[in-house]
Amino acid sequence: MDLDGKLPLMIYDDKCYVCIQFAKMVNFFTRGRLRMIGHYTEFGKSIRENYLDENALEMFWFMNKNMAYGGRAAIYPLISSIFNLNDANSKKMSIQESCDIGCKDSLAVFFRSASLITHSKKISLTK
């Protein structure tokens, strides 16, 4: 699987209300210029199988040409990319969502928000 022309990108849980809201916020700040991929889409599944590890579904990921950053480790590179995205090579992206009502309760919001702080991972994409 070749990611040329598809990076940078953010992978989020498209079945989680909190994650979808986070992705919408990032999409707003990037003005739709950052590719957003749901974990449960075909492309998201392919990325997990080819580049990420078995813990990929536990956090959101930000990928650039050199690294895949997960959870807490992804915050700084994501914020940095918001200010450095190039308008010329990107098209406007939309957010895929398939959340059911069960993921909107306060306990789910707490656990998904806490996972951002407790999970962190970096995976090199250069070989």
**How confident is the model at residue 104, as a pLDDT?**
64
Total length of the chain: 127
**How confident is the model at residue 91, as a pLDDT?**
55
Indicate whether 125 pLDDT > 50: yes
CA distance 63 to 68: 4
> Whole-model pTM?
0.81
Indicate whether 1 pLDDT > 70: no
DSSP class of 101: G
Q: Give 101's pLDDT tier (boundaries 50, 70, 90).
A: low
Indicate whether 82 pLDDT > 90: no
Of residues 72, 73, 71, 89, the one with CA closest to residue 8: 89
Q: Percentage of residues in the chain with pLDDT exceeding 70? A: 76
Indicate whether 89 pLDDT > 50: no
pLDDT tens, position by position, 10-57? 999 888 888 888 899 999 998 888 999 999 999 999 999 999 988 888
Grouping H, G, I as helix, E, B as strand and the rest as coil, residue 7 is coil
